[in-house]
Every structure is written in structure tokens, then in C-alpha cells.
Structure 1
Amino acid sequence: MSSPAPGTLAPSARRLRALARAELTLLGRNRGVVFTALVVPLALPFSVRPALDQMDLRKQGISIGAAMLTAAIGFSLLFAVYTSLVNAYVARREELVLKRLRTGELSDPEILTGTALPAMTLGLAQALLLCAGCALLLDAGAPKAPYLTLLGLVAGLVLSAALAALTASFTRTVESGQVTALPLVFVSMIGSGIMFPTEVMPEKLASVCELLPLSPAIRLVRAGWTGQLSVSEALGTLATALAWTLVAVFAVRRWFRWEPRR
């Protein structure tokens, strides 16, 4: 069997880069989306600080800094990646951009991935800056298991993009995207350990909330700072994140709409 020639993937990479660059330009022109993606994840963690101060987090081995860091990254996944991509997918579909792209060399996965790359890159950069800022300013300290935080970030970014494409499948207009995205946003904020750690919840409630889509990513991010996750628990959490990602990707392949919903 002959091995693939060097540079076989270059055309695909060039197409993705070109599409991502164009999408980044469009993203920068939408001031509302940029404001939501950049400012909201930075501001919202401070709104949950009073509630965190009332909880006995030290008993759970979690510092205020680590809890606020997790909240900030969670809000970044929800607003910088998920909600902004719901709007992007719907807008490009309704403007017939996706339909025109399908007539060219780009494959369907390349179109969806290229559209998502700017938001995912923004989310990753924001998360890394938040990690550095919280470690210095909120006395969160250095992560005890940084590889878990990195795994959580990757899992959260990929799943957020896939869930955004799935939500866009059932969203008729850009305006209604603000409504269709709310259920996942609210459920994740309250139940996935973003606004407050699942460790402070009753055990039965926590066991249910840990199965929510973004819960594995948030748990891995926080465990990277606290180190309170065994190898078997980390593998189980990662398996849950992978399962949700596979379900979301399958649903996107099955139900994503390329034609305008009129």
C-alpha cells in the first residue's frame, strides 16, 4: 500500500484557513456578538462572587479563585463559543452563504469547522488569559493537574461548537437564536458547575447534573486546579464528554439545515 504523498492535507488546510479568515472578518463586524463574547465572560464571574463567599468551599477543597476561574471559563464556552456560533450558523444559512459554499470544493465538515474556528480560537485564547489572570489576581495558584484543565478546555470547545450547530438546525432566524440558545445556557449555568461547584450540591442532584453536556468539561477544568480527580474518575468524565460530542455530531449530520428556514 502506497503512503499518502506529502502535503495531501494542504488543500484542506488552506480552504479551512481561508474560510476561517473570512468568518473572523464577519465576526469582527458584529459589535454585539463581539461585546457578548469578550465582556460577558469577564464580568459574570464577579456576579457570583457573593454567593460563592457564602459557601463552605474550603471543605470541598476548592478555593474562591478556582471556583471563579471555572465560572469564567464556563461563561466563555457559553457566550464566546456557543451562543456566538448559533448566531453565525443561522446568519450564514439564511444569507445563503452555506448553500453557496457547498457548491465549491469545501466539504460539509470543512464548512462547519471553518465557520467555528474563529469563535473556538477566541474561546481558547480567552480561557488561557483567564487562567493566567485568576492565578495572579484571585490567588487561584498554579494548577495541580494542568493536563486535566487542557482536556476540559478542548472537550468544552469542541462540544460547544457541535451543540451550536445542532441548535442552529432548529433556529429559524438570528433573532430567535437568542431564545433557542437559552435552555442550554441556563441549564449549564445552574447545573454544570459554572455558577457554583457541583460538589456543594446534594449527592443525588450532583450525580444527575454531572451528566449534563458541559458538566464533564467544567469538572475537568476545575479538577486541573484542585487535583481532586482520580485517574478512573477522569477517564469516566472524559468518556461522558466524548459520548456527548459523538451524539451532538451525529445529530448535526442528521438534522443540520443548509437551506434557509422560510
Structure 2
Amino acid sequence: MTSAFSLKRTLNLARWNAVLLTRNRLAFVYAVVLPVLPILIMLAGERGDPAVGATSITTVFLVVGLFPVYYNVLSQFVSRRDELVLKRMRTGETRDAEMIVSIALPGIVSALVISAVVVPLSQLFEQPLPVNPVLYAAAAVLAVIMFTAFAYWTAAWTRSAEAAQLTSMPIILLASLGPLGASLADSNETLARIIDATPGAAMNELVRVGWFGFDGAEATEKTLSFAETWSAAGPPLIVMAAWTIAACSLASRSMRWEPRS
């Protein structure tokens, strides 16, 4: 009889995955060090300038999703699949869902902790507190789910951990298009709308609305109240939700547990 999903077993596996993550220096830097470096952008601008703060925080948010979650989950899953670790685990009591969650959990926890820690860190640079912390937290949770699903989908067509450096580029580029939306808003409206429909642009806008109360891609001053941020966040939330559903669907349909032939 197939055993049900075990939270205890999942947490034990996640703990060992976290230990392996800390032993890999590059993976550890991706998970802990690299995501907080964009906070230093605030040193380059005027102290307390919300526009500089928005640039810094949105960059932190993007890096947190791409490296602790997306790239680390992708490389770890592919490595263990190629070493037949996953195949052997599936012959025992471990369920597929437990393996999927346990591999992703260390990166997810790192991403969420950094997303929270960056709030008090920003106070050192006299940045405002989030206008709508609930919306900011929801954006962080949705982002880690989306990038986890993208990681497992990318793993389906990644032959080796080394190849992940190339196969990850389409998602990294897609997520990195967000900051271009504002610069293209005046020059090419059609292209700007296309970029606004990318996950990176949606995350960028959610942080700007939820944290800084900015209304629009070119805004540099707070104009939205707590109540007004909910309606302004509607379009980017829909975009992120759509990408998350699509990524989960693609990942579930293409999951591979054995090395590609």
C-alpha cells in the first residue's frame, strides 16, 4: 500500500539537502550571499531616495527568485537524477512529492528569509517600510512557487548539471526583462505591453506597488495608500498567477526521474 505524504520525512530530506547545499561553495553563495548584494545599490544614490530604494529592492527580489530557488533547485535535481539518487529513492518509502518539496525547501526558505530580512536592512538606508506588507509577502510566496515550478520544468530538458548553465538562460532572461518595461514605455508601447506580461515585470511592479506605493512604471514617489495598492496590484498579480499555473502544469507533465538517454 502506498504511504501518504509524510511531513516528517520531507523535513528530514530537506535538512540533508540543506547540508549538501552548504557544502557546495558556489551553491551556498547563490543561496545566501548573492541575493543580498543588490542592497548595496542604495549606497550609490541619495540616502532615503525611494527611487533608488525601489531599484535595489526589486533587484534583490529578482535575484532571490532566480538563484536560491530557480538555479539551485534546477542544478540539484538534475545532479541527483543523473547520479540515480532519485531513482533509488523512488523504490523505497519516499514519495515523489516529498522529493520535490525537500529539494526545493532549502532554497525557498533562504529566499523567504532574505525577502523578510531586507525590510530591516533597508532602514539602515532610511528607506520607507512597505506600504502593504501583506501584498509584499504574497508576492514573495508566489515568486518562489513560480520559480520552483520553472526549475523542475527546465530540468526535464537539461541533460546534466553543467548543461543547466545554458538551459537556464531562457528563464533568467525572461525574468530579467522586467526593468526594461519602464524604459520602453515611451519608445514602443506594444513592446512595453509584451514586457509587462513577463514574470519579471510583474514581480517588479508588485514590489514597487506593495512596498513603495508607486503608481505606474515611471513613478518615483509614493501616491498609493494601503487600500489603493490592492487595486493597483491586480494586473501584476494576475500575470504572476498565470505564469505560476503554466509553470506548474509544464513541470508536472514533463517531470523526468531518470537520466536522459
Does the alignment reach a TM-score above 0.5?
yes
Question: 2:11 is matched with which residue?
Answer: 17
Matched to 1:74, the amino acid is L
Within 5 A, what are the aligned runs for 1:66-145? 66-134=54-122, 136-145=123-132
CA drift of 1:93 comes to: 0.7
Question: 2:193 is matched with which residue?
Answer: 207
Give, in whole Å, the separation in 2 of the partners of 1:49 and 1:176. 36
> Compared with structure 1, are the counterparts of its residues 208 and 49 closer, same or farther at alpha carbon in structure 2 (3 Å cutoff)?
farther
Matched to 1:17, the amino acid is L
Give, in whole Å, the separation in 2 of the partners of 1:233 and 1:207. 16
- TM superposition score normalised by structure 2: 0.83
Unaligned runs of 5+ in 1: 1-7
Give, in whole Å, the separation in 2 of the partners of 1:231 and 1:130. 22
Tell me the matched-pair count. 241
Secondary structure of the 1:175 match is coil
Question: 1:28 is matched with which residue?
Answer: 22
Question: 2:244 is matched with which residue?
Answer: 245
* RMSD of aligned alpha carbons: 2.5
Question: 2:220 is matched with which residue?
Answer: none
- TM superposition score normalised by structure 1: 0.83
Matched to 2:251, the amino acid is V
Give, in whole Å, the separation in 1 of the partners of 2:235 and 2:61. 21
CA drift of 1:129 comes to: 1.4
Question: 1:3 is matched with which residue?
Answer: none
Give, in whole Å, the separation in 2 of the partners of 1:217 and 1:103. 39
Once the two structures are superposed, residues 60-106 of structure 1 have per-residue CA deviations (whole angstroms, 9 ceiling, x without a partner) of xx521122111112111111211111111111111112112222333
The counterpart of 2:165, out of the listed 178, 184, 187, is 178
Give, in whole Å, the separation in 2 of the partners of 1:94 and 1:192. 34
Give, in whole Å, the separation in 2 of the partners of 1:101 and 1:122. 25
Question: 1:5 is matched with which residue?
Answer: none
Give, in whole Å, the separation in 2 of the partners of 1:251 and 1:93. 18
Give, in whole Å, the separation in 1 of the partners of 2:92 and 2:142. 30
Matched, 1:221 2:220: no
Once the two structures are superposed, residues 197-234 of structure 1 have per-residue CA deviations (whole angstroms, 9 ceiling, x without a partner) of x3443152332112113332332122112223643342
Give, in whole Å, the separation in 2 of the partners of 1:70 and 1:19. 32
Equivalent pairs: percent with the same residue? Answer: 32
Give, in whole Å, the separation in 2 of the partners of 1:253 and 1:225. 33
Q: Is the 8 A contact 2:36 2:114 kept in 1?
A: no
> Compared with structure 1, are the counterparts of its residues 233 and 65 closer, same or farther at alpha carbon in structure 2 (3 Å cutoff)?
closer
CA drift of 1:46 comes to: 4.4
The counterpart of 1:159, out of the listed 130, 136, 146, is 146
Matched to 2:92, the amino acid is G
Unaligned runs of 5+ in 2: 216-228
